[in-house]
Amino acid sequence: MDSPNPRAKSKITEETAYEGVYNYCHSAYDWSIAEDNPDIMYLEMGEETETEYQVIFRSYTGTFVYFHVDKSSGTTRLTEYVPSLGIEEDAGTIDLYDYLT
């Protein structure tokens, strides 16, 4: 008999949303360029709705990646926005649980 899936039962909190996105960003993006100037890359919480948290990553290039974290499932939709070019596009999805320790 299989044990119940712990992912299905645990609800994502604001803290776990931030932690998972933080871990993802540090594995997916090169932060070494920001070592001498940490203000050029950062992560912050965005808007919260009843069903999702938004976590915002700003790259040193000026691009923003918006992480829309589903509170019940951990499925996280990514949207990239380049303000200087006015371009916004979907950038895929990740499972937040893959980036929580």
List pLDDT tens digits, range 49-85.
999 999 999 999 999 999 999 999 999 999 999 999 9
Pick the closest to residue 76 from 59, 57, 101 (CA basis): 57
What is the Cα–Cα distance from 56 to 97, expressed in whole angstroms?
A: 18
> Is the predicted pLDDT of residue 93 greater than 70, yes or no?
yes
Question: Where is pLDDT greater, at 19 or 10?
Answer: 19
Tell me the pLDDT of the chain averaged across its residues. Answer: 90
pTM above 0.95, yes or no: no
What is the Cα–Cα distance from 40 to 62, expressed in whole angstroms?
A: 8
Residue 19 vs residues 34, 57, 86: alpha-carbon distances, Å: 19, 12, 29
What is the Cα–Cα distance from 52 to 12, expressed in whole angstroms?
A: 9
Token pair, residue 87, equals 């371009």
